[in-house]
Structure 1
Amino acid sequence: MHIVEHLIAGRWSAGGDVSTVIGPHAGAPVANFPAATPHEVAAAVAGARAAQPDWAATAPAARADALRAAATAVEQATGELARTMSAEMGKPEAEAAGSIAAGVGTLRQYAELGQLHAGRTLAGDLGATDLMVREPRGVVAAITPWNDPVAISCGLLGAALVTGNAAVSKPSERTPATGWLLTRTLAPHFPPGVLSMLAGGAPTGAALAESAVDVVAHVGSTATGRAIAAAAARTGAKALLENGGCDPLIIDTGVDPAWAAQQAALGAFANAGQICVAVERIYVHADVAEEFLAALVKEAAAFEIGPLVDLRHRSAVHGQVVDAVDRGARILTGGTIPEGPGAWYPPTVLTDCTDEMRVVETETFGPVAPVVTVASFDEALSRATRSPYGLAATVLTPSMSNAHRAWRQLETGTVKINAVFGGAPGGAAHPRRGSGQGFGYGPELLDEMTATKVVHLESPPGGW
């Protein structure tokens, strides 16, 4: 079992009340972790503040070299990180290793981009020099989730550090050992205090968000994101948020139902549905609905997934399924809590769903595919946009006209046509409404981690 510690101003410690992570596979203890006290939060931020100026003064190429070395160290630690991630949140080890590889790639991407991230000169008077200079914001608080704890942390921390900020990381209380191991792997490659880590639950995250930091970067629930935005409004920090989603999948007439079912199963059941851009609601044209549902049931029966993160989350997921059935939905497969230990829950397909059901209107974050049958593509588009979220959407259609209509009308940060996952590296989007604000990944994240200063230089009378 892992014994998690805080990293504060370059020193490891284990203060605060201790809690235990219970693994989702068999219900066995995985890690003990302390909850950082307000004093420890303040000390971590103060240590980061003290270390940041020298780190900002370090040459960009040297900061990039440090990030490259850190990426290599994470790559070499993949086995231990994957085993720990799987033990804490249920992702199969092979999939966990894949997500760690994505995190390594992100660190290396930012190492290359960071040293090229510069301002520009402006065309002013001939006797003057005008510059737009990018400078680090200062101290970045990174509050990260449990569903992809390494890749997301690598993105936020990598972008913060390579641009000259100091960072204080607060991993989820559901995956504290994974966050601790990642920090132990990254931290030796940076000066003491440049990277700190605080363990703990919601009170620790709230204390960090309300502390004297310059950026609060959060990936997680909409409710927590809104609380962070309110705290940032009080302190003046920049809030960078990727929050919940309830992503629609639209299936047009003329689509191959078997292929559509494969796409829907991948979008709804991968990582047991615990993905920010998972398919959360499906609008299928009546022309293909019957064949699609039959194929989706077969896909669900064959889809292999790990357990949900814990019993509390399983209870919430199952509660949405029960609520839908009480309101008239039918279970075609799954929908029952299996006997035995662990937080397992089967891939579940619901039909006869309506937009008023919680499983359709809110984020489930589990392996549940609620299906709504519609009479036309127009109806599907209209119903898909009725949401307080705006993270991503997917459309499966053989019609180029409908594809263009969809990406123009869907009010989400990302629209995917004929593929539930995928996209070129480096793409970044702004989430909408309850799904957050700001760029949380891609080259634009470097812009978020820096502030632009305009400099106007003129020589004094008589010259320099």
Structure 2
Amino acid sequence: MTTDSDTARNLASLEVYDPRDGSLVGSLEEANPDEVRVAVAVAKAAQPGWAGTDAAARGELLEAAAAAMQERAGELAEMNARETGRPEHEALEGVMAGAGTLRQYAQLGPVHRGRSLRGGQLAVDYTVNEPRGVAVVLTPWNDPVAVAAGLLGAALATGNTVLHKPSERCPHLGALLGRILSDVLPPQVMTTLTGGPAVGATLASHPDVDVIAHVGSSLTGAGIAREAALTGAHVIRENGGNDPLIVDDGVDPAWAAEQAAIGAFTNSGQVCTSVERIYVHRAVAGPFGEALAAEARRRNVGGLMAPLVDRRLRDSVHGQVAEALSLGAAVAEGGAVPEGPGAHYPATVLLDCADHMAVMQEETFGPVAPVQVVDSFADGLRHAAAGRYGLAATVLTADMEHAHRAVAALQVGTVKVNAVFGGAPGGSAQPRRDSGAGFGYGPELLDEFSAVKVVHMGLPGGAR
């Protein structure tokens, strides 16, 4: 997921502009290194008391935090729209999802249990889950409230104190969320620090930080992992992806195009698990390409595409499109930077793409659907399985053998068959390779924020 900032900065301040029209949202001061060090020390001092709070009481406080988020959901959604360009109704859905996630962890925390172990008949052996200590949570801008709520909820439910640095692309939203939650929680249990990469780097390298959860770019995630190797902090990372979509022979090309458009254009392509590259069987390539272009055109003509988060990201997205065109790809729809203010970019369909193009190799993080024709399902699977990322993949097929082969061959955290989004609640995946490590959501996230202690209790010497 791309998170590098292009917000204009004046010395130690962040200025953020509305990507819809370029107007100034506001500016905030960045935390300086001394403020970061003090925040870590305060969190460390407060952690034993929070860990000693009954799990049920921590859950009740998270329930209250969720209620506070819901009460001010409109404010959060409005600020999200202003800073990131996310349509306000979608931003509101993200806030409500975040509140729901907090409630889930409020309920899961008190029942997060250890295990009894089989030992000697006159001994007791068991495991205890304990908080790791001080948690640093670094969150992105593309679904900022929902993602933050999940990581914050799991960290707090398990007894960690938290230092939260929201993305520098939405610092006002992060600060507002921090105030809402901190007003409910005990003092110093959660602190929000505003700033850019330097603040994140200071947090990630601090020796008193025990666990770091990061959702963002692979480059930043790799740097965090290197720092943590020196400090010993546990790292949870959900990072970039270049998620493939395979369209098999025998599927309805119009339906497949609808799925591809949902995967590539939702939130203007700014989703961790967006469809980033498409491999379509030659037998259905013609009608699929026409239908996909029509889906993109409908969104463009109907004004359904929200802007990208800022112009720097737009420049990056268009740079990949321009490079693909220079290497032989063809535009079926979109592909041009519109005139006017803001950071708008159209839903774009590129045909005749090939492996050597950056748009097929790297994360684009914009509303671009590059299509490469393959001669067989096996050929498409081979292409889809290649690359340095391992976040997710989708297969559209009516052949169950092909579906099973794809599940076995695709070394990614999530394989989706015949649906680009969706799935049962509670599913939690581990990304692979450059896409990260560890469970970033679901019940297993409680384990990531905990350390396991084994206890053996025997009889004292001479006891009968």
TM over 0.5: yes
Q: Letter of the aligned partner of 1:220 in structure 2?
A: G
- Which 4+ runs in 1 deviate beyond 4 A? none
* 1:58 aligned residue (37, 53, 66): 53
Percentage of identical aligned residues: 57
The aligned residue for residue 340 of structure 2 is: 340
State the secondary structure of the residue aligned to 2:292: helix
Structure 1 stretches lacking a partner, 5+ long: 1-15
State the secondary structure of the residue aligned to 1:24: coil
* 1:156 aligned residue (151, 157, 161): 151
Q: Note the C-alpha offset of 1:100.
A: 1.3
State the secondary structure of the residue aligned to 1:419: coil
Whole-angstrom CA distance in 1 between matches of 2:280 and 2:37 = 52
* 1:215 aligned residue (204, 211, 214): 211
The aligned residue for residue 365 of structure 1 is: 365
The aligned residue for residue 392 of structure 1 is: 392
Could you give the per-residue CA deviations for residues 409-434 of structure 1, whole angstroms, max 9, x where no partner exists? 11100000000000011100110000
The aligned residue for residue 259 of structure 1 is: 255
Q: Letter of the aligned partner of 1:250 in structure 2?
A: I
The aligned residue for residue 179 of structure 2 is: 184
The aligned residue for residue 301 of structure 1 is: 297
* 1:248 aligned residue (244, 247, 251): 244
Q: Note the C-alpha offset of 1:461.
A: 2.0
State the secondary structure of the residue aligned to 2:183: helix
Q: What's the C-alpha RMSD, in Å, of the aligned pairs?
A: 1.1
State the secondary structure of the residue aligned to 1:189: coil
Whole-angstrom CA distance in 2 between matches of 1:417 and 1:75 = 34
Matched, 1:67 2:62: yes
Whole-angstrom CA distance in 1 between matches of 2:305 and 2:423 = 24
TM-score normalised by the chain length of structure 1:
0.96
Q: Note the C-alpha offset of 1:463.
A: 3.6
Q: Note the C-alpha offset of 1:59.
A: 0.5
Whole-angstrom CA distance in 2 between matches of 1:83 and 1:20 = 18
Counting only pairs closer than 5 Å after superposition, residues 76-155 of structure 1 correspond to structure 2 as 76-155=71-150
* 2:163 aligned residue (165, 168, 171): 168
Q: Note the C-alpha offset of 1:33.
A: 1.5
The aligned residue for residue 4 of structure 2 is: none
Q: Note the C-alpha offset of 1:178.
A: 1.0
Whole-angstrom CA distance in 1 between matches of 2:169 and 2:14 = 10
Whole-angstrom CA distance in 1 between matches of 2:85 and 2:123 = 60
Structure 2 stretches lacking a partner, 5+ long: 1-10
State the secondary structure of the residue aligned to 1:369: strand
Whole-angstrom CA distance in 2 between matches of 1:418 and 1:133 = 41
Q: Note the C-alpha offset of 1:124.
A: 0.8
The aligned residue for residue 453 of structure 1 is: 453
Q: Letter of the aligned partner of 2:275 in structure 1?
A: V
Could you give the per-residue CA deviations for residues 118-152 of structure 1, whole angstroms, max 9, x where no partner exists? 10111111111111100000010001111111011
* 2:189 aligned residue (191, 194, 197): 194
Whole-angstrom CA distance in 1 between matches of 2:128 and 2:167 = 35
Whole-angstrom CA distance in 2 between matches of 1:458 and 1:191 = 38
Whole-angstrom CA distance in 2 between matches of 1:243 and 1:179 = 20
State the secondary structure of the residue aligned to 2:136: strand
Q: Note the C-alpha offset of 1:268.
A: 0.2
Q: Letter of the aligned partner of 2:87 in structure 1?
A: P
TM-score normalised by the chain length of structure 2:
0.96
The aligned residue for residue 3 of structure 2 is: none
The aligned residue for residue 34 of structure 2 is: 39
Q: Note the C-alpha offset of 1:459.
A: 2.0
Whole-angstrom CA distance in 1 between matches of 2:26 and 2:195 = 12
Q: Note the C-alpha offset of 1:462.
A: 3.6
Whole-angstrom CA distance in 1 between matches of 2:197 and 2:144 = 16
Whole-angstrom CA distance in 2 between matches of 1:260 and 1:346 = 20
Q: Letter of the aligned partner of 2:446 in structure 1?
A: L
Q: Letter of the aligned partner of 1:225 in structure 2?
A: G
